[in-house]
Structure 1
């Protein structure tokens, strides 16, 4: 079965989009975690609002998705099989983490984008790991 995918050069575009947007949207969260206080920099808050930070979160997720849907340099049926196995394993791991997180904590305050980013990262790691092993 022929799967339509983006050309290989989209990997670079997706990775660049992910890194850039993650850095921009995650800066204030990083500073809050580093200092333990709410980050209140007048310049940063004026330049990047909450809505624009959310847009950068969405663009970083889009960058990972573009990276995932790009072809490898050498594309064959075996790579497609590895993609399928990685997606299946990632689905099981993601569901297990979600169920365990909700079972442990009654009052979980994670938004959907945390779970999406976790799912995409687990997929990329398992695909890279399977590709290196086989």
Structure 2
């Protein structure tokens, strides 16, 4: 079965590099207010009809980290393995299905038990959870399969 929607295997490394750069940047921006000064940009004030009237400065460090992390997770999750056979395709599909179910179970619990600003923060993290759960599940199943084959059983 041909996987039409997967990136070539070489993009997996690019994805891991993006994750390795973006995750610490995002944590530093979110928890320690770290910013890159060159990412300070003026935005149009909300409600302003004149595009020439610029509003307050806004720093885009956290947005860059978020975009980098999303792209890195996508490249890592959806790049072909060196040997992409039907067994890998099945593991990939099962992992994706499992991650969607698990993500929505967590989302339902979040809706029930978390309110206000913490809910907004939880939803921000929820952007990444489907891909993170998918990667964890997929590589766990891949590891189990390789270990099982390695035992000669």
| Map of 1:109 onto structure 2 | 120
* Structure 2 unpaired stretches of 5+: 41-58, 146-153
- Return structure 1 stretches of 4+ with deviation > 4 angstroms: none
CA distance in 1, matches of 2:13, 2:68: 15
Inter-partner Cα distance in structure 1 for 2:24 and 2:115: 31
Paired residues in the alignment total: 124
Go from structure 1 to structure 2 and tell me whether the alpha carbon gap of 1:11 and 1:126 turns closer, same or farther (over 3 Å shift): same
Worse overlay, 92-101 or 12-21: 12-21
Bigger relative contact order (CA 8 A; separation at least 6): 1
Question: Please, which runs of 5 or more residues in structure 1 have no aligned partner?
Answer: 32-38
Q: Distance in 2 between matches of 1:68 and 1:12?
A: 11
Q: Which residue of 2 aligns with 1:46?
A: 37
Q: In the alignment, which of 141, 148, 153 is matched to residue 130 of structure 1? A: 141
RMSD: 2.0
| Matched residue, 1:77 | 86
Shift, 1:2, TM fit? 1.6
3-state SS, counterpart of residue 3 of structure 1: coil
Rg larger in structure: 2
More strand by share: 2
